[in-house]
């Protein structure tokens, strides 16, 4: 491992766009800023009996659920509706160019380039890697997390192209990305404590 890499700062995403003149921002490759999740407001409506509905307001996603619903059923329904709304918001915001992002990260942290890296509807894991084929899939749920969290998952999966395991040697590679541990914390909180390991084939 090259120790110098540990101190390499994360890739600048469009996070730094505010400091850049507009014409330079426009010339940047198409890397859309992942959406910041909106707050969720749940309203128990006596007018509703079985179904719930969600709509996007400027400051939150408002979900109306039947007033008589159990807390468990409400949580399940709200999670489902919010996920659907967030997927639509992400699709509207424009695609993030995963291949471009992965190429930059591979170069910066001296990791191999994947043969392909694609979005996949996978709800039980954040990323997966088929190291024999060099292919990586990233959960579409990550289209709406901050760029540095998405990058941590991409670097994690790129490291699996060298080490298809979670050994010490693997972590030495994955931790070249300085915010790897913070990103794990972010994703753990986002999945509400459900462990969400990646999948290696």
Q: Is residue 198 near Zn ion by the rule CB under 5 A?
A: yes
Sign of the dihedral defined by the CA atoms of residues 173, 104, 147, 131, in that order: negative
Cβ proximity to Zn ion: between 90 and 98 the closer is 98
Secondary structure class of 137 (helix, strand, coil): strand
**Do the Cβ atoms of 152 and 183 come closer than 8 Å?**
yes
For Zn ion, the nearest residue by Cβ is 198
Secondary structure class of 174 (helix, strand, coil): helix
Q: Is residue 11 near Zn ion by the rule CB under 5 A?
A: no
**CB atoms < 10 A from the CB of 130, how many?**
18
- Nearest distance in Å: CB 169, Zn ion: 13
Q: Which strands sit side by side in the sheet containing 135-139, from one edge to the other?
A: 116-120, 135-139, 127-130, 199-200
- Nearest distance in Å: CB 145, Zn ion: 17
Mask of contacts with Zn ion, 140-179, x by CB under 5 A?
A: ----------------------------------------
- Nearest distance in Å: CB 175, Zn ion: 12
- Nearest distance in Å: CB 126, Zn ion: 9
- Binding residues for Zn ion, rule CB under 5 A, total 1
How far is residue 166's CA from residue 154's CA, in Å, rounded to a whole number? 15
Q: Which residues of this chain interact with Zn ion, rule CB under 5 A?
A: 198
């Amino acid at each position: 491992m090259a120790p110098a890499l540990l101190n390499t700062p994360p890739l600048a995403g469009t996070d730094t766009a505010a400091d850049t003149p507009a014409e330079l921002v426009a010339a940047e490759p198409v890397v859309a800023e992942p959406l910041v999740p909106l707050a969720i407001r749940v309203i128990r409506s006596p007018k509703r009996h079985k179904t719930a509905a969600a709509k996007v307001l400027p400051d939150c996603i408002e979900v109306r659920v039947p007033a008589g619903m159990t807390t468990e059923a409400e949580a399940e329904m709200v999670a489902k509706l919010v996920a659907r709304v967030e997927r639509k918001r992400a699709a509207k915001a424009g695609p993030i160019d995963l291949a471009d992002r992965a190429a930059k990260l591979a170069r910066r942290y001296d990791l191999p380039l994947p043969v392909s890296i694609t979005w996949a509807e996978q709800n039980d894991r954040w990323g997966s890697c088929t190291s024999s084929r060099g292919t990586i899939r990233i959960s579409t749920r990550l289209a709406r997390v901050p760029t540095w969290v998405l990058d941590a998952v991409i670097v994690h999966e790129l490291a699996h192209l060298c080490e298809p395991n979670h050994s010490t040697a693997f972590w030495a590679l994955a931790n070249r990305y300085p915010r790897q541990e913070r990103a794990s914390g972010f994703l753990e909180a986002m999945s509400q404590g459900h462990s969400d390991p990646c999948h290696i084939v």
